[in-house]
Amino acid sequence: MFSVSHIFQFTASFFEVVSLNRVGGSTPFVTLDYGTFLGAQDGNLTSFLGIPFADSPVGDLRFRLPVPPPQLEGVQRAVSFGAACPQHALSPLPGMNFTGKYTKVSEDCLAINIIRPSFKLVPGRNLPVLVYFHGGGFEIGDATETRMNDIIDRSVHSGEPLMVVVPNYRLNGLGFLAGKEVKEAGVSNLGLQDQRFALQWVQKYISSFGGDPDRVTISGVSAGAVSVAMHLVSLDGNPNGLFHSAFMLSGGPLRLPSVLDGQSEYDLIVSETNCSAERDTLSCLRRVPLDQIMAAINKTRDIFSYSSLNLAWQPRVDGDLLRREPYESLVQGLYAKVPSIAGTCDDEGTLFSLANLNITTDEAFSEYISSNYLKGTTSAEISDVLRAYPRDPTKG
């Protein structure tokens, strides 16, 4: 059986590889127009971690669209993951802990991470790029949640090497605040806007790392897969050259509320942070200390509360990035016509039912789905659902 080193040597010779630019003999570095970044090599893998792709969204930049990072002086060490974006506190589940063990959590979290085999193809043969959006219900998670090294090793084994790019994006109320004030300011769906900004960064800079900007696949699991679906239908399905294929696992084009439907959460946060008396409540929220605004966000429902996947924080139809219900975009053909794969993890839904174990009767189930997911439906339509999902699953 061939070892990883044998496969790597064969692949290297086959593609006539040349070394990355190096400082000090073995340390890879890349110079971009806003800074020089020193990466790390570990065996057959080279990584550049924690590179800022946007300015820090704190202070006056909180609740604003992403903007380019500032000019960075000197050589920047890109050898460890950056801070995780602030995380929503989840309702406890018996015997389970979904709190990430992050070295640092900060609003200064819009960093991108590049992992690739330790070789660069000759000009014209750069590596295809897999951009991965992490999951976490749009409430938790960061770029460290999934080991990308295994994917790259597998690609080298198969003789089809690729590089993986994983960006962070704003989460929960910091990334998906909604309401009329948000709509009027044009700052809805900031988490998706961060992802899109990261894709623009990839188009501009990934060739400096040996990646091919004309072969970018966007991918993700759970909320990451939903994100991919949102990019497929955003802007009437125009990808603007940011990606060329898509992969979704356990997520897709959901039914979305409008940005105006998030007013109750907005008002709660304004009230909890003592911004109610301000004429411009959004500006007030930009000045609130992070711990105070997160304490308010943590009072909203989460993925393991009774409402489960009826999320407080998620993408919303805003008439701008997402112009209509995703299903309507699909029916009208207004989606990106790129090769796509979609799949689902087996029995994944069980996890999200653990907070609702007290729903044991048809009456309780009817109330739950009508109040949480099917608002405005008729009793006859609810009856149809009950027939499709009877108390005894063997009869369904």
CA pair distance 250, 227, nearest whole angstrom = 11
> What are the phi and psi torsion angles at 146 (to 5°)?
-130, 135
Identify whether the C-beta of residue 265 lies closer than 8 Å to the C-beta of residue 312.
yes
Q: Which structure tokens are listed for 110? A: 């819009």
CA pair distance 160, 149, nearest whole angstrom = 15
Residue 221 forms beta bridges with which residues? Answer: 249
Point out the catalytic residue in the list 56, 222, 234, 307. 222
| 56, HSE (Cβ side, Cα atoms, 13 Å) | 13
3-class DSSP assignment, residue 350: helix
3-class DSSP assignment, residue 323: coil
CA pair distance 219, 385, nearest whole angstrom = 32
| Run of H or E residues at 154 | helix 149-157
Q: Which residues contact 313 (CB under 8 A, 6 or more apart)?
A: 88, 138, 139, 171, 172, 173, 175, 176, 265, 297, 300
**Is 56 designated active site?**
no
Nearest C-alpha neighbor of 233 from the set 200, 255, 204, 213 = 255
Burial-class residue 291 by CB neighbours within 10 Å (0-12, 13-18, 19+): exposed
> What are the phi and psi torsion angles at 174 (to 5°)?
-75, -25
Q: With the C-alpha atoms ordered 274, 279, 282, 287, is the resulting torsion angle positive or negative?
A: negative
∠ at Cα 101 (58, 36), nearest 5°? 55
Eight-class DSSP state of 1: -
3-class DSSP assignment, residue 243: coil
Residue 330 forms beta bridges with which residues? Answer: none
Count H helices, E strands: the chain?
12, 12
What positions carry a catalytic annotation? 222
